[in-house]
């Protein structure tokens, strides 16, 4: 996608042919800064500090982290250590394991001399696949937005879409998952308006989704996390589209904390609740999201403090809780499949169920070997 007319992906190989470029997402929306990663430690730090975040992007940066490791020591032992370090960065998004496994399998299949070239080729293929996959998600999601547009009594009125957190191009390699249909709908000339949940505690909606949508010229309004139910009760939301960090084989989805409450409100108000995801987000090894998805718990200071820009342009962090009040910071929640109207994938739209997913991914049926 473009930033002030310049095309960017969220991760890239720099002009030197080996170091890795990223956008420092901790600086947005106040400044746009890029960073160069030159070691596996840099890649690890970028994920841990959330300079890069979003399930597919975490996977892509981890894949490039293995490339950086291979440059200095491509032995089995060194690669396995790097794999473990990168894997330990964030627990919930399954794309991380998927990407690390994909690159490791390719590396262990070739001799040490061939590993640097193999790693970069595999990581690049993975990144290109993610960009293409997200664009396809956008195409399939666009049909749903068109269907919502066709239902409006006033065809000049915008389609109101509510989204949570940031599942845009910053969270993937390009295009995004939940935001891809929105970009394509906007580009196709459909009138769109997006309700952007601020997404406390880290405010990925207010700082990243709002920034992305603004850069692309998509009409949007940032709302407090608790406003969505009220808007739905008053007919101000036509559909919800969110992303997911892990989707189970039966269609439970795990996304940024607060997603579940939006799904409940959508169900109560008869509003479609769609979840957009690439194949790399499906964890075929588990069924029950509540029981089996590890939920990341982060530092309490993300809840007790808030950072923003002052009237004089300085960044400032302030405390918003009384001294001594403990805070808990659960980063994700699980929305059971029964609250999901449909899943939007690169292969099409399906029911949030085992059968629905298997219809789109038949190679996952028992006894059928997976392609690719
Ligand atoms: O903690 P984050 O910012 O990595 O969480 C990101 C999300 O929850 C996104 O909704 C998710 O990764 C969707 S996939 C594009």
**Residue 371 belongs to a domain:** no
Query: Ligand 1 in contact with 54 (CB < 6 A)?
Result: yes
Mean pLDDT of the 65-70 span: 98
Q: Give yes or no: 187 in active site.
A: no
Query: Ligand 1 in contact with 204 (CB < 6 A)?
Result: yes
Nearest CA to ligand 1 atom 13: 243
Ligand 1 pocket, mutate which of 93, 253, 296 (most atoms under 8 A from CB): 93
Q: What integer pLDDT is reported at residue 366 of this predicted model?
A: 83
Indicate the pLDDT class of residue 367, thresholds 50, 70 and 90.
low
Residues 158 and 195 in one domain: yes
Residues 94 and 199 in one domain: no
Indicate the pLDDT class of residue 155, thresholds 50, 70 and 90.
confident
Q: What integer pLDDT is reported at residue 260 of this predicted model?
A: 98
**Residue 75 belongs to a domain:** yes
Residue in 225, 245, 283, 333 annotated catalytic? 245
Domain endpoint, select from 93, 128, 163: 128
Task: Determine the distance separating the centroid of ligand 1 and the alpha carbon of 260, expressed in angstroms.
Answer: 14
Using the predicted structure, report yes or no on whether residue 369 has a pLDDT greater than 80: no
Higher pLDDT, 368 or 253: 253
Q: What integer pLDDT is reported at residue 372 of this predicted model?
A: 43
Task: Determine the distance separating the centroid of ligand 1 and the alpha carbon of 209, expressed in angstroms.
Answer: 11
Query: Ligand 1 in contact with 256 (CB < 6 A)?
Result: yes
Task: Determine the distance separating the centroid of ligand 1 and the alpha carbon of 95, expressed in angstroms.
Answer: 11
* Percentage, residues of the chain above pLDDT 90: 97
Strands of the sheet with 20-23, listed across from one edge: 11-13, 20-23, 34-37
**Residue 71 belongs to a domain:** yes
Q: What integer pLDDT is reported at residue 371 of this predicted model?
A: 47
What residues make up the domain containing 91? 2-128
Task: State pLDDT tens for residues 274-308.
Answer: 999 999 999 999 999 999 999 999 999 999 999 99
Query: Ligand 1 in contact with 53 (CB < 6 A)?
Result: yes
Query: Ligand 1 in contact with 56 (CB < 6 A)?
Result: yes
Task: State pLDDT tens for residues 235-250.
Answer: 999 999 999 999 999 9
**What is the domain-level CATH number for residue 13?**
1.20.120.420
Q: What integer pLDDT is reported at residue 358 of this predicted model?
A: 98
**Number of domains within the chain:** 2
Query: Ligand 1 in contact with 172 (CB < 6 A)?
Result: yes
Ligand 1 pocket, mutate which of 26, 171, 212 (most atoms under 8 A from CB): 171
Task: State pLDDT tens for residues 52-62.
Answer: 999 999 999 99
Write down the pTM of the prediction.
0.97
Q: What atom of ligand 1 comes closest to residue 332's alpha carbon?
A: 8
Task: Determine the distance separating the centroid of ligand 1 and the alpha carbon of 165, expressed in angstroms.
Answer: 7
**Residue 193 belongs to a domain:** yes
Residues 122 and 169 in one domain: no
Using the predicted structure, report yes or no on whether residue 78 has a pLDDT greater than 70: yes
Q: What atom of ligand 1 comes closest to residue 256's alpha carbon?
A: 8
- Closest alpha carbon to 220 in 179, 268, 171, 266: 179
Q: Mean pLDDT for the chain?
A: 97
Residues 166 and 236 in one domain: yes
Query: Ligand 1 in contact with 177 (CB < 6 A)?
Result: yes
**Residue 87 belongs to a domain:** yes
Task: Determine the distance separating the centroid of ligand 1 and the alpha carbon of 257, expressed in angstroms.
Answer: 10
**Residue 143 belongs to a domain:** no
Domain endpoint, select from 128, 161, 187: 128
Task: Determine the distance separating the centroid of ligand 1 and the alpha carbon of 337, expressed in angstroms.
Answer: 18
Residues 120 and 245 in one domain: no
Residues 215 and 252 in one domain: yes
Residues 123 and 159 in one domain: no
Nearest CA to ligand 1 atom 5: 54
**Residue 352 belongs to a domain:** yes
Residues 108 and 186 in one domain: no
Domain endpoint, select from 128, 144, 164: 128
Query: Ligand 1 in contact with 165 (CB < 6 A)?
Result: yes
**Residue 134 belongs to a domain:** no
Residues 100 and 189 in one domain: no
Q: What integer pLDDT is reported at residue 370 of this predicted model?
A: 52
Q: What integer pLDDT is reported at residue 120 of this predicted model?
A: 98
Task: Determine the distance separating the centroid of ligand 1 and the alpha carbon of 16, expressed in angstroms.
Answer: 30
* Percentage, residues of the chain above pLDDT 70: 98
Residues 86 and 167 in one domain: no
Residues 195 and 253 in one domain: yes
Nearest CA to ligand 1 atom 8: 256
Residues 169 and 258 in one domain: yes
Query: Ligand 1 in contact with 55 (CB < 6 A)?
Result: yes
**What is the domain-level CATH number for residue 226?**
3.40.50.10470
């Amino acid at each position: 996608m473009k930033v002030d007319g310049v095309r960017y992906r969220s991760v890239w190989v720099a002009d030197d042919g080996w170091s890795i470029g990223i956008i420092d997402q901790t600086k947005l929306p106040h400044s746009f800064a890029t960073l160069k990663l030159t070691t596996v430690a840099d890649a690890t730090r970028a994920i841990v500090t959330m300079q890069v975040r979003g399930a597919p992007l975490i996977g892509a940066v981890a894949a490039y982290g293995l490339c950086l490791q291979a440059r200095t020591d491509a032995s089995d032992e060194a690669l396995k250590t790097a794999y473990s370090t990168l894997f330990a960065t964030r627990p919930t998004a399954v794309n991380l394991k998927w990407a690390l496994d994909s690159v490791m399998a390719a590396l262990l299949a070739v001799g040490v001399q061939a590993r640097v070239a193999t790693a970069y080729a595999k990581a690049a293929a993975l990144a290109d696949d993610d960009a293409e996959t997200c664009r396809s998600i956008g195409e399939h999601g666009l049909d749903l937005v068109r269907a919502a547009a066709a239902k409006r009594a006033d065809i000049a009125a915008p389609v109101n879409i509510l989204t949570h957190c940031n599942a845009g191009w910053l969270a993937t390699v390009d295009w995004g998952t939940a935001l891809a249909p929105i970009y394509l709908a906007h580009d196709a000339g459909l009138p769109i308006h997006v309700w952007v949940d601020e997404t406390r505690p880290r405010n990925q909606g207010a700082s990243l989704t709002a920034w992305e949508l603004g850069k692309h010229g998509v009409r949007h309004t940032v709302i407090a996390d608790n406003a969505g139910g009220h808007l739905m009760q008053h007919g101000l939301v036509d559909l919800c589209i969110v992303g997911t960090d892990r989707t189970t084989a039966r269609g439970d989805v795990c996304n940024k904390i607060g997603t579940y409450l939006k799904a409940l409100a959508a169900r109560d108000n008869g509003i479609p609740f769609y979840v957009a995801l690439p194949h790399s987000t499906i964890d075929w090894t588990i069924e029950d999201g509540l029981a089996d998805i590890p939920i990341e718990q982060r530092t309490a200071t993300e809840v007790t403090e808030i950072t923003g820009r002052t009237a004089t342009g300085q960044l400032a962090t302030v405390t918003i809780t009384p001294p001594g009040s403990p805070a808990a910071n659960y980063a994700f929640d699980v929305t059971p499949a029964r609250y999901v109207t449909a899943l939007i994938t690169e292969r099409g739209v399906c029911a949030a169920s085992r059968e629905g997913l298997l219809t789109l991914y038949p190679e996952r049926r028992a006894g059928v070997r997976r392609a690719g």
